[in-house]
Structure 1
Amino acid sequence: MSKPRSLSLAAYRVLSWGVPNAAGQPEHPRPEGELIWVHVNAQDRLRTVLDLCRRLQQTRPNLSILLTAPPEADLSRWDQSEYPLLALPPDQTGAARVFLDHWRPDIGLWVGGGLMPNVITRADERGIPLILIEAQIDIQVTRGAKWLPDIARYTLDCFGSILSTSTDTARAIRRMGIASGKVKEAPPLHVSPNPRPWPEDELIETNHALAGRPVWLAACVRDTEFISILSAHRQATRILPRLALVLQVADMTEAAPLHRRLESMDLRCTNWDGEGHIEDTTQVILSAAPEDLGLWHRVSPVTFMGSSLERGAGGHDPLIATALGSAIIHGPFVQRHQQIYDQLDAAGAARMVRTATELGDAVVDLLAPDRAADMALAGWEIVSEGAPQADQLIDMVQDCLDHRGTDNART
């Protein structure tokens, strides 16, 4: 049964009619099959949403994903996404209709506040199931329409499920007249990486070749960091003479010249992407293929996340390394993933260094078995805490899509 039309909503649509201009026309074709539309209201939540989308596609491989951001978002500053990421058109009646006509989402997931009445209410009228997570009472109405009553209540009531991270927010939403059964408290989503498995025979063979030697990994290293990494390794070998370094370069074209450079420095080096043979005397294992990081994170109890000692690159995502049980060391320049590094640092799962000397000291310190194990446990608690919430949300999306598919089949 459809909801009775709100007079405030009717007035709002007139006030916000607008005509979408050419810039608001969809540029991307709609993919075939099921499509979930996920709106991310805040830039710092994109990383978490991307992780959820990947997990969702593992469960439902044929599901296509569309991501949207607020109309005013500068997407050049947002993280790169493997899914289409568009700014929603302004909250005008005509623009909302054009957006929904083109994309025809099978379900909508809204993350955070910035609720836009036109696109949300029109999606609801089309029978598109809507879920609101990390809910906020934050309605973005067109200028001149703020005086209209009931817009917030009517917009929130379009969601079939509302998950709030705050008891006060959940209570306030219920007091607006939203059915209590719709509103639940739930923690915010966290990134919960799901690393790909690695062939057991290759892992056993590599560990056997290393013969119990202490190992550390420097991952995603830029050329400007090579000297610092090698200096730190030389320093650490004074305490741990059999220490092996796995040096994984961020730019694959740097691998060959770096190999020659290492040989000229009298460092016994093996090129994993070439012969890949580890001797008992091997000091540096040079690797370039990013897909091999899954092996090295499993082999190395300590990982230095490169592209972070010098300004410019902004660091790399540390969560796969954390999920695979590696203690994390990083430089100060990790602004691309600042939030997760701050969280790991605060939990004792990661350590920041600023110089080659600090890096060498940290490698020696963290390779003590109890230190690495404590950090790995702290990291595991962070990467696993979001799994139940993500699984619950994925089940909700699956149920909505399954019921929608059944209803469509009946009609």
Structure 2
Amino acid sequence: MAVAERWRARGTAAYAMYRAASRVVSPLVYLLVRWRRLRGLEHRVRWRERLGEPSAPRPAPGTPLLWFHAVSLGEGLAAIPVIRHCVQKRPDIAVLMTVSTVSAFEVIKERLPSSVIYQFAPLDTSAAVDKFLGYWNPDAVFLIESELWPNLIFSSAEKGIPLALLNARMSVKSFKLWSKPLAWSLISLMLSKFSLIAPLSTVEAIRFQLLLAPPFIINFGGDLKYAVGDFDVPQKELTILEDLKLQVASRRVWMASSIHYGEEEVVLQVHRELVKIYSNLVTIIVPRHPLHGRQIARALKQQEISVALRSNVERISSGTVIYIVDTLGELRTLYRITPIAVIGGSFLPELSGHNLSEAAAAGCAVLTGPFVGHFSHMIRQMTTLERLSVWQVSGREELEEALKQLLGDAGALEARRRAAKQAFSAVSGGVVGRVWELITAHILREPPQKALESFCLSPDAAGEGRGDGAAGRRAVSEGRPTVVGGGE
């Protein structure tokens, strides 16, 4: 404990340097955000939210407010099941959701409950964060995966706002960076400000402890990305789904999803070999970035290969051999029209995989490359339960052989599809409830037996309107309950 305290004391000096630097650059941040807006990297209308300026009214006085923040699409989708659970259990509390990227913003806004306040997150300058927290004054902050921003964390802690890190992730690369002396002192102090860290796996938990996170705040609830594949499909998506099913009804189909720059070469080489055997084959390519899809389509058309591009509303005709989906937010629908899903972001050494659960939930035969990063724990969980649930190949040649087998053997394909769906069902059950129980016990301080029932802030925690939540926050820091059973 003495070692941890010494490092945290040094962390105070490290943060003082960080905060001073952020103050120096604050005047330039306005220009940076304007420049990013011109390049399409910030929202055309709502870009001022990145400077901490709100565009929505605050909740009514006395209404508890929980703030969930995710940087981009994957993390945002992981947060939605918990947000929905919260809204369903207690519609009388308010939820604020923020993201940092434009692509995530456009997709997630269609999936959030209508009552959720939705904004862009402030950049981590002292001015933007202080303006944001001063306006919204949340009663708790929930950061998703690896959003460890010093000004946000320390400013929240100074205001007595409880912090939680859900689906907490610490990659090998990040761990090495944070392990350097000055960074280690800063991260150890930052982690000490949390009331709850819910890691993805035991490996992640060990890394957080090595960075001097207090052991008593580390608790397992499960991987929220398993819950991503379990959303209801809205009518609009069902209509798209039925149309796409008709377009590929008489064709052999496989899909490569979340493809990064450079991985298209692997996919296209495999396609060229497969189409020699299966003349009615359609390969669906879903790049991680829409612009990449248009670049692939342009190159293939120059080679006189029949390509259909989704953003141009081009249909899959009898002559189409490659269908490129250069749109956002449609993966869940696409997984329901293909029997085979190859998950990208895993075929080049600098990459680290993507979420497999949506493909498994849809009943696809799931394949992935060798470079899967922290998704290795998801693969281990699923293959331990069902050996055939995920097929991890070593590279292009093994991928080609695996696809030949699955496209040519209906029995083998069905076994893989069934195993993936069964493994997903086994690992996804109850994860949202378990995470919610951790939130209510460690952040809202409700007794565990009531955790899945209800919550509300006590009268002295709520104070007079939204401006006096500090009493309740002090109670949290002192270990006193701030939550009473509310009932529905």
TM-score per shorter chain, which class? 0.5 to 0.7
3-state SS of 1:380 partner = helix
Q: Which whole-Å CA distance do the structure 2 matches of 1:357 and 1:122 have between them? A: 48
What letter is aligned with 2:416?
A: M
The alpha-carbon deviation at position 84 of structure 1 amounts to 4.6
Q: TM-score, normalization: structure 2?
A: 0.52
Q: Which whole-Å CA distance do the structure 2 matches of 1:303 and 1:350 have between them? A: 10
Specify which of 240, 254, 260 is matched with residue 278 of structure 2: 240
What letter is aligned with 2:227?
A: P
Larger CA deviation: 400-409 vs 366-375: 400-409
What letter is aligned with 1:404?
A: L
Q: Which whole-Å CA distance do the structure 2 matches of 1:357 and 1:120 have between them? A: 44
Distance 1:386 1:258, change over 3 A: closer
**Does 1:373 find its partner at 2:414?**
yes
| Counterpart position of 2:148 | 85
Identity in percent: 16
Larger CA deviation: 286-295 vs 373-382: 373-382
The alpha-carbon deviation at position 410 of structure 1 amounts to 8.8
Q: Which whole-Å CA distance do the structure 2 matches of 1:240 and 1:83 have between them? A: 43
Give yes or no for contact 1:190–1:383 (8 Å, CA) kept in 2.
no
Cα-to-partner distance string for 1:122-157 (whole Å, 9 max, x where unaligned)? 99xxxxxx67878999x98xx9xxxxxxxx9xx96x
Distance 1:274 1:342, change over 3 A: same
Distance 1:392 1:81, change over 3 A: closer
Specify which of 387, 391, 394 is matched with residue 436 of structure 2: 394
Give yes or no for contact 2:341–2:367 (8 Å, CA) kept in 1.
yes
Give yes or no for contact 1:51–1:192 (8 Å, CA) kept in 2.
no
What letter is aligned with 2:161?
A: P
Give yes or no for contact 1:35–1:105 (8 Å, CA) kept in 2.
no
Structure 1, unaligned runs of 5 or more: 1-11, 39-46, 67-79, 90-94, 113-117, 124-129, 144-151, 166-186
Specify which of 348, 356, 364 is matched with residue 404 of structure 2: 364
Cα-to-partner distance string for 1:165-215 (whole Å, 9 max, x where unaligned)? 7xxxxxxxxxxxxxxxxxxxxx75564232452521211111011123221
Cα-to-partner distance string for 1:87-132 (whole Å, 9 max, x where unaligned)? 699xxxxx99x86332x336767989xxxxx999999xxxxxx678
| Counterpart position of 1:126 | none
3-state SS of 1:298 partner = coil
Distance 1:270 1:81, change over 3 A: same
1:105-254 to 2 correspondences below 5 Å: 105=161, 191-195=225-229, 196=231, 197-198=233-234, 199-254=237-292
Distance 1:236 1:133, change over 3 A: closer
| Counterpart position of 1:350 | 390
What letter is aligned with 1:274?
A: N
The alpha-carbon deviation at position 83 of structure 1 amounts to 8.1
Give yes or no for contact 2:367–2:390 (8 Å, CA) kept in 1.
yes
Q: TM-score, normalization: structure 1?
A: 0.61
Distance 1:332 1:312, change over 3 A: same
Q: Which whole-Å CA distance do the structure 1 matches of 2:292 and 2:67 have between them? A: 40
The alpha-carbon deviation at position 254 of structure 1 amounts to 3.1
Q: Normalized per residue, which structure has more helix?
A: 2
Q: RMSD of the alignment, in Å? A: 5.0
| Counterpart position of 1:300 | 338
Specify which of 275, 286, 296 is matched with residue 258 of structure 1: 296
Distance 1:223 1:100, change over 3 A: closer
**Does 1:278 find its partner at 2:316?**
yes
Distance 1:190 1:35, change over 3 A: closer
Q: Which whole-Å CA distance do the structure 2 matches of 1:281 and 1:241 have between them? A: 10
What letter is aligned with 2:83?
A: Q
Distance 1:84 1:280, change over 3 A: same
What letter is aligned with 2:377?
A: Q
**Does 1:56 find its partner at 2:82?**
yes
Q: Which whole-Å CA distance do the structure 1 matches of 2:192 and 2:392 have between them? A: 47
The alpha-carbon deviation at position 20 of structure 1 amounts to 4.2
Q: Which whole-Å CA distance do the structure 2 matches of 1:392 and 1:228 have between them? A: 39
Q: Which whole-Å CA distance do the structure 1 matches of 2:11 and 2:434 have between them? A: 39
The alpha-carbon deviation at position 393 of structure 1 amounts to 3.5
3-state SS of 2:228 partner = coil
3-state SS of 1:329 partner = strand
Structure 2, unaligned runs of 5 or more: 23-50, 59-63, 88-93, 99-142, 170-188, 446-454, 465-488
**Does 1:404 find its partner at 2:435?**
no
What letter is aligned with 1:373?
A: E
Distance 1:358 1:191, change over 3 A: same
Give yes or no for contact 1:304–1:328 (8 Å, CA) kept in 2.
yes
The alpha-carbon deviation at position 284 of structure 1 amounts to 0.9
Larger CA deviation: 345-354 vs 287-296: 345-354
Distance 1:335 1:408, change over 3 A: closer
The alpha-carbon deviation at position 286 of structure 1 amounts to 1.5
Question: Size of the alignment, in residue pairs?
Answer: 329
3-state SS of 2:335 partner = helix
Q: Which whole-Å CA distance do the structure 2 matches of 1:366 and 1:403 have between them? A: 52
Distance 1:312 1:64, change over 3 A: same
What letter is aligned with 2:397?
A: T
| Counterpart position of 2:158 | 101
1:1-16 to 2 correspondences below 5 Å: none
What letter is aligned with 2:264?
A: F
Larger CA deviation: 398-407 vs 210-219: 398-407
| Counterpart position of 2:103 | none
Q: Which whole-Å CA distance do the structure 2 matches of 1:304 and 1:253 have between them? A: 20
What letter is aligned with 2:157?
A: L
Give yes or no for contact 1:314–1:334 (8 Å, CA) kept in 2.
yes
The alpha-carbon deviation at position 344 of structure 1 amounts to 4.2
What letter is aligned with 1:388?
A: G
Distance 1:106 1:328, change over 3 A: same
Q: Which whole-Å CA distance do the structure 1 matches of 2:192 and 2:345 have between them? A: 45
The alpha-carbon deviation at position 312 of structure 1 amounts to 1.9
Distance 1:393 1:353, change over 3 A: closer
Q: Which whole-Å CA distance do the structure 1 matches of 2:322 and 2:11 have between them? A: 63
Cα-to-partner distance string for 1:5-49 (whole Å, 9 max, x where unaligned)? xxxxxxx99xx99994424869898997524799xxxxxxxx999
Q: Which whole-Å CA distance do the structure 1 matches of 2:68 and 2:241 have between them? A: 39
Give yes or no for contact 2:382–2:424 (8 Å, CA) kept in 1.
no
| Counterpart position of 1:324 | 362
